[in-house]
Structure 1
Amino acid sequence: MRSIRFATVAVATAALTLPLMAGTATADPSAGRKAAPHPHAKFDRLRAAAPEGFVVGTAVAGGGHHLEQDYPDPFTHDREYRKVLARQFSSVSPENQMKWDYIHPERDRYDFGQADAIVEFAERNKQVVRGHTLLWHSQNPAWLEEGDFSKAELRAILREHITTVVGRYAGRIQQWDVANEIFDDQGNLRTQDNIWIRELGPGIVADAFRWAHKADPKAKLFFNDYNVEGVNAKSDAYYALVQDLLEEGVPVDGFSVQGHLSTRYGFPGDLEDNLRRFDALGLETAVTELDVRMDLPESGVPTEAQEQKQADYYQRTLEACLAVDGCNSFTIWGFTDKYSWVPVFFEGEGFANVMTEDYVRKPAFYALRDTLKEAREEDCGKKDHGKGRKG
């Protein structure tokens, strides 16, 4: 997950939030205002438009870089945000609230408050949960990174953390990002900045999967990373590692691409091929953190062409996932620009989500909705045709 919090962020205060986009062109007659309720409102929701068994998720904003911004935690304090979160999505991912620095702030103390609230919210709204994340090089608490621990102590700390956290939510979390971003872009293990790999060696990754599986045998366990959408050195490294781990009997269930894309770069046209090769290994696949940022004009308002290009990237990512049998989980990393992480870390870029700051739907939203509807109708048609043949 790329929504990381650093001690200092060299971004001007004005870049922390995007201007309201009420006058932005959209692909819907409701451009510039909130859409009127659809006569069949249920099917105007992403979760209802999706094919049976296909979950559509979003990150639950809170924590992380938001601490540097002058608004309260969105999940706790923004009623409209929660309303849209419940209505539109069938899956939720804690953006930061299950990471080490939030859930395990001191060696002998856990803070489950925020994570518990998200899981309980999901259960009330018939949503599944993706747990994020157990082994990562970033957002670790100071007591861990700066502690003078022996190898045996570090190993015990990781095992206890995974057993405690995964065990607490056993049976309540569908998928876990067990190992997050363990390779660099050249396909090399992060042997310097990842405390677990640096101090305990590469084998600790397999142990993390084993411990998570023991704590919750029903949860699906994933590798998760960015810049692995296409076939490249980084995704090749995961492909080789996964094969080795499966041969050793390590309980790896899935491989997920984050999907933090930018319109300044070309779309990863081999995304579907990449997902298919992991699918062929018997893994589930998923898109877990999709957003599509863009370079904004001086006005801060994107052009219609920029919005359409963004919508195309969203649609093509969804289509690639839908085309692969084992890709049944599709998550966008936030749905409103009001709480986007992008302007904090990419100065001059933004407008990355499917709704504006005031929850007006963009062309990207309609591209996802319509693509899901088409897939649902196609699935229903296949089932009806199958019934006809049986008769």
Structure 2
Amino acid sequence: MRSVHPALKTLSLLAPLTLGLTLGAARAGGGAAPPATPTPAAPTTNPAAAVQPARPAASNVSLRALADARGLLLGAAVNQTLFDPDEPEYARTLNRHFNAVVAENAMKWAGLHNNREAFAFGFADAIVNTAVKNGQTVRGHTLVWHDSLPPWVYTIQTREELLRAMQDHVTGVVTHFRDRVRIWDVVNEAVSDAPGHPLRPSPFLNLIGPDFIDEAFRAAHAADPGAKLYYNDYNTDGLNGKSDAVYELVRGMLARGVPIHGVGFQAHLNTDFDVKGAQVQANLQRFRDLGLDVQLTEVDVQLRPARPELGELARQAAVYRDLLRACLNVRCAGFVTWGVTDFNSWRAGGKPLIFDDVYDPKPAFAALAQELAR
């Protein structure tokens, strides 16, 4: 087990950002001093106002309590570390600060259905059952994706066979988790990054055709009519060509009567990302105006290399703060970080999350807490 040092170990090196929270014990266990005045970031690196970095003691504030008070799903993607007896702080951090859970990889097609003849739900069941026991909402990720497919899918040669296999997979998974998983990323990353942003080549598009998306949503809805069904993608956070393509995709689905309830925006970003300049809020709002829920589903903000860490932590906190502010301003349904700590992140080298390698809260944690309490 990696030793966990005191959360204020770097306070002498970092300018404090107090949370400005006056919270009753029922919400977050106590109050804090008034907030420090934010310092603007250098315009050449990030036009957003930088958050002054600090590492507040996580024991003083529960992000989960703050999110509950706002009616927001605040989630994290989890992996096998959740069950590692040598890492008990992982589960403690997850349960204290997050009211929603996503399986990072365990519920993808290859993880659940590598054998065509049988599902393997064991690991995914463990995650879901643990979350339910802890009163956390589970987002199911993901039913249909061009990646993480088992080899047998690539052996299918006809439209009819692949359509039936896709429908059987969706039906089997959603039915198994019915009443425990009520939110699903049904189709993930179906829009490409190519000029014009057509649908991405995949076994599903190539054999079934563009209507594979509609059929996947219909199968999920039939398996659990009470579940919220999402389309999820990356590089769609602001107003741009790809988010335009996703907008037209889901608008067409609604016009055809396809049961879609929301859109997920992954938000895998870095500290140069300008939330306001990218018009993230306006982008989210136009999807809300279609009558859809929106969630930021895979948020991480990696530090850029060869830059002073202190400034990067401040810029990272500013991006997190501005993302959550845009999300709350449009009454989004959820905000999910793609991992719990930097050590377990798929982008670990970029230190992209709100807890560091040893579970200490980073300035980004303080920024989220302050925004939730605003």
TM interval, shorter chain, is 0.7 to 0.9
Pairing 1:76–2:83 present: yes
**Structure 1's 27 and 247: CA in aligned 2 closer, same or farther, altered over 3 A?**
same
Post-superposition CA distance 1:255-299 (Å, at most 9, x none):
11111011144445300000100000000011001000012338x
Counterpart for residue 262 of structure 2:
254
Per the alignment, residue 380 of structure 1 pairs with none
Instruction: Note closer, same or farther for the CA distance 1:36–1:206 as it changes in structure 2 (3 Å cut).
Output: closer
Determine what percentage of the aligned residue pairs are the same residue: 40
Give yes or no for the alignment of 1:291 onto 2:300: yes
Deviation at residue 32 of structure 1 after TM alignment:
9.2
Q: Is the 8 A contact 1:26 1:307 kept in 2?
A: no
Residue matched to 1:37: 59
Q: Residue 215 of structure 2 is aligned with which of 207, 212, 215?
A: 207
Match of 2:339 among 334, 338, 354: 334
| Secondary structure class of the residue paired with 1:164 | helix
Residues in 2 aligned to 1:126 and 1:135: alpha-carbon distance in whole angstroms: 27
Asked whether the equivalents of residues 269 and 300 of structure 2 are also in contact (C-alpha less than 8 Å), the reply is yes
Query: Counterparts of 1:288 and 1:178 in 2: how far apart (Å)?
Result: 13
Q: Distance in 2 between matches of 1:131 and 1:214?
A: 16
Residue 313 of structure 1, aligned match among 313, 319, 326: 319
Q: Is the 2:78–2:104 contact (alpha carbons within 8 Å) kept by the matching residues of 1?
A: yes
Q: Once superposed, what is the RMSD of the aligned Cα atoms?
A: 2.2
Residue identity matched to 2:192 = D
Give CA deviations for 1:205-255 in whole Å, capped at 9, x if unaligned: 001000000101111101111100011111111111111111111001001
SS of the residue corresponding to residue 296 of structure 1 reads: coil
Instruction: Give how far 1:188 is off.
Output: 2.7
- The one-letter amino acid of 2:14's match is A
Counterpart of 1:35, as a letter, is A
**Conserved 8 A contact 1:34-1:359:** no
Which residue of structure 2 aligns with residue 360 of structure 1?
360
1:126 and 2:132 aligned:
no
Any residues of structure 2 matched to 1:60-75 within 5 Å, and which?
60-61=78-79, 73-75=80-82
- 4+ residue segments displaced more than 4 Å: 20-24, 28-34
Letter in 2 for 1:310: Q
CA distance in 2, matches of 1:264, 1:52: 28
In structure 2, the CA distance between the partners of 1:53 and 1:123, relative to structure 1 (3 Å rule), is: same
Call closer, same or farther: CA 1:123–1:243 in 2, change over 3 Å: same
Is residue 102–residue 141 contact of structure 2 (8 Å, CA) maintained in 1? yes
The aligned runs of 1:107-256 (5 Å cut-off) are: 107-145=116-154, 147-185=155-193, 186-192=195-201, 194-256=202-264
- Alpha-carbon distance in 1 for matches of 2:365, 2:231: 27
Contact 1:56/1:90 (8 A) holds in 2 = yes
> Tell me, which stretches of 5 or more residues in structure 1 are unaligned?
1-19, 39-43, 62-72, 344-348, 375-391
CA contact (8 A) 1:26 1:363 kept: no
Determine if contact 2:355/2:361 at 8 Å carries over to the other structure: yes
- Supply the distance in 1 between the matched residues of 2:17 and 2:215 (Cα, whole angstroms): 50
Q: In the alignment, residue 340 of structure 1 is paired with which amino acid?
A: S
For 2:71, which of 53, 69, 77 is the aligned residue? 53
Number of residue pairs matched by the alignment: 328
Q: TM-score, normalised by structure 2?
A: 0.83
